[in-house]
């Protein structure tokens, strides 16, 4: 199993409705990309203050490394990823991606 974490620092001008639309687009990936066991997305709720400005994120649980690899090249994932990069403060520098074997 692979846990695929993505942390996002959205542009300050991004409206709440736009953010919700992106969360919806992320959620639909579970229905169109094989090998996804679970997907959770939402704002950071930690009280520690150690988020480095990354206030939103999601985690995808894949059944295998191969499922994660297929996801990375899936057209639906690429379309959502491009939208996230465009909405992130600083483009790619407004994202952190971290994968972990579970």
pLDDT above 90 covers a percentage of the chain that reads 96
pLDDT beyond 90 at 102: no
Distances (CA, A) of 21 to 1, 3, 11: 28, 23, 15
pLDDT 10s digits, 25-55: 999 999 999 999 999 999 999 999 999 999 9
Tell me the pTM.
Answer: 0.91
What local confidence, expressed as pLDDT, does residue 90 receive? 96
Q: Which two tokens stand for residue 80?
A: 């959502």
- Per-domain residue ranges for the chain? 12-44+64-101
Beta strand 36-43 pairing with 2-8: unpaired
pLDDT 10s digits, 4-29: 999 999 999 999 999 999 999 999 99
């Amino acid at each position: 199993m692979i846990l695929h974490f993505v942390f996002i620092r959205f542009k300050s001008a991004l409206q709440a409705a736009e953010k919700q639309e992106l969360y919806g687009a992320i959620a639909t990936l579970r229905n169109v990309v094989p090998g996804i066991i679970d997907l959770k997305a939402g704002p950071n709720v930690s009280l520690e203050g150690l988020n480095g400005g990354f206030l939103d994120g999601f985690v995808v649980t894949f059944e295998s490394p191969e499922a994660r690899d297929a996801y990375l090249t899936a057209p639906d994932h690429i379309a959502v990823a491009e939208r996230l990069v465009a909405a992130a403060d600083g483009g790619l520098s407004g994202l952190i991606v971290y994968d972990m074997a579970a």
